[in-house]
Structure 1
Amino acid sequence: MGRTVRHVFVAGCVLLWLIPLYLLVVNALTPAAEYAGKPEWTFQGFALLDNLDTAWDVAGIGDSFQSSLLYAVVCGLLAVLVAAMAAFAVVVLPIPRPAFWFWLIYSGTLFPLQMFLAPLFGLYADANLYDTRIGLMLVYTAWAVPFAFFLIRNQLTTMPPELTEAALLDGASFPRIFWRIHVPLMKAGLGAAFIFQFTAVWNDLLLGITLSRSPDVQPVMAALTTLNNAYSSAGPPVILAGALIVSAPTLVLFLVFRGLFLRGVTASAR
């Protein structure tokens, strides 16, 4: 009986996820001129390529797509690198009060992002970083570090300290121990942390609309809201086609690296 209830619950959750996806695809295929003003449940034609082309041009999603790809890849990698070094310092290096440093870094995930928006906006305006790619890259990297640090630190705590002790006895320095021993052993955790941060940066809207306005600087989620504001001229099928464009990178990333992601999450949860 318990197994049946679990299967029914899981099937219901899958159905709740598939229905909106089905509506998204069906209505993105509908020609914009033939859209009746309400969601279509059956295929009314195939105008996906036209809708994608319009979405790419109307809101400048093409430029924003490239910008978001740059932000997600570069900032994700930088955040994971900084987080790995910080986790190594907290777990492996003989620093005083490691618990204090852990909570100091991890506290970045505990406060709502909205409380930083006003100070960030003022700071960026004064420093001429507003509406610049480097400004967004700085804040995205800093924003992504705390959670990546949490994941990587959890995996580091599962590694036996004898590894470090043996390397020190052999004359290895701490940087060499980090790059030659711990980084290879943490590949799965580093990969999982990167996937998390890539997804977080890619899906960001709040920082994007607060700290940028130009189409070639704004992240793709902000461009999608611009397309949504053009509702009357573009039409829902075009907006949904834009949503398909925005959804593709994170879906492809997870499908390609799902094995690495699961291994990394498992290693960090031990």
Structure 2
Amino acid sequence: MGRAVRHLFVAGCVVLWLVPLYLMAVNALTPAAEYAGHPEWTVQGFALWENLDTAWTVAGIGDSFQASLLYSVVCAAAAVLVAAMAAFAVVVLPIPRPAFWFWLIYSGTLFPLQMFLAPLFGLYADTNLYDTRLGLMLVYAAWAVPFAFFLIRNQMAVMPAELTEAALIDGASFRRIFWRIHVPLMRAGLGAAFIFQFTAVWNDLLLGITLSRSGEVQPVMAALTTLNNAYSSTGPPVILAGALIVSVPTLLVFLVFRGLFLKGVTASAAAR
């Protein structure tokens, strides 16, 4: 009986997730001029390519898509690298008060993002970083470090200390130990952290609408809200086509790297 209830609950969750996706796909096919003003449950026409072209070129979501791809890949990779080095310092290096440094770095995930927006906006306006790709890349990389550090540190904490001790006896430096031993052994954890941070940066809206305004700098989620405002009167199919474009990268990342992601998450969970 308990198993049947669990299966029913899971099936209900799957349906709740699939229904909005189905409605988005079906209504994105509808010609904008023929949209009736309410969601359609069946296909009423096929204008997907026209709607995608309007969203990509006419509405300018293509520039923001490329900007978000740059932010997500570069900032997630930089954050994972910095987080791995910080985790190595906290777990392996003989630094004083490692617990203090752990909580100091991890505290970046404990405070709401909204409390940083006003100081960030003032700082960016004073330093000419507002509405620049460099400005967004800096804040995205810094924002992504604490959670990546948490995941990587958990996995690194359960690695045998004998590995480091044997390498030190053989004359290896800490730099060599990090790059030649810990990084290869933690490939799955680093990959999982990268996927998490790639998704977080790609889905960001708050920082995007606060620290940028031009189309070539704005991340894609901010551009999607602009698309919603611009095309709310001409037809939701264009907006839904833009939503389809936006959902593709994260879906591909999870499908391509799902094995690596599951191994990394499992390793981090086991470490806890």
Alpha-carbon distance in structure 2 between the residues aligned to 1:21 and 1:208: 24
> Offset at 1:158?
1.2
User: What's the counterpart of residue 107 of structure 1?
Assistant: 107
The C-alpha deviation readout for 1:30-69, integer Å capped at 9, x for no partner, is 1111100000000001110000000112331100000000
Query: For 2:42 and 2:108, how far apart are their aligned partners in 1?
Result: 46
Matching of residues 54-203 of structure 1 within 5 Å: 54-203=54-203
In the TM superposition, what is the alpha-carbon distance from 1:119 to its structure 2 partner?
0.1
Distance 1:221 1:208 in 2: 8
- Name stretches of at least 5 consecutive residues in structure 2 with no aligned partner: none
1:245 aligns with 2:245: yes
* Cα distance in 2 for residues equivalent to 1:234 and 1:104: 49
Give the corresponding residue for 2:204.
204
Q: Counterparts of 2:87 and 2:56 in 1: how far apart (Å)?
A: 41
Is the contact between residue 33 and residue 234 of structure 2 (CA under 8 Å) also seen in structure 1? no
Task: Count matched residues.
Answer: 270
Residue in structure 1 matched with residue 46 of structure 2 by the alignment: 46
Question: 1:129·1:135 contact (CA, 8 Å) conserved in 2?
Answer: yes
Cα pair 1:227 1:234 within 8 Å, conserved: no
Residue in structure 2 matched with residue 28 of structure 1 by the alignment: 28
Displacement of 1:14 in angstroms is 0.3
Q: Secondary structure at the match of 2:165?
A: helix
Q: Output the amino acid matched with 1:250.
A: T
Which secondary structure state, in structure 2, belongs to the residue aligned with residue 37 of structure 1? coil
> Cα deviation per residue 1:58-110 (whole Å; 9 max; x = unaligned)?
33110000000000000000000000000000000000000000000000000
| Match in the other structure for 1:258 | 258
What letter is aligned with 1:132?
T
Quote the offset at 1:3 in angstroms: 0.5
Tell me which amino acid in the other structure corresponds to 1:33: A
| C-alpha distance in structure 2 between counterparts of 1:83 and 1:228, whole Å | 36
Q: Secondary structure at the match of 2:159?
A: coil
Q: CA deviation at 1:232?
A: 3.8
TM-score scaled by length of structure 2: 0.98
1: CA distance, partners of 2:104 / 2:232: 48
Confirm or deny: 8 A CA contact 1:154 1:268 kept in the other structure. Answer: yes
Alpha-carbon distance, 1:231 to partner: 2.9
**Aligned AA (2:266):** T
C-alpha deviation, 1:235, in angstroms:
1.1
SS in 1 for 2:46: coil
Point out where structure 1 has 5 or more consecutive residues left out of the alignment.
none
Judge conservation of contact 2:91–2:157 (CA < 8 Å) in 1.
yes
CA distance in 1, matches of 2:106, 2:60: 36
In the alignment, the residues of structure 1 paired with residue 70 and residue 150 of structure 2 have an alpha-carbon distance, to the nearest angstrom, of 24
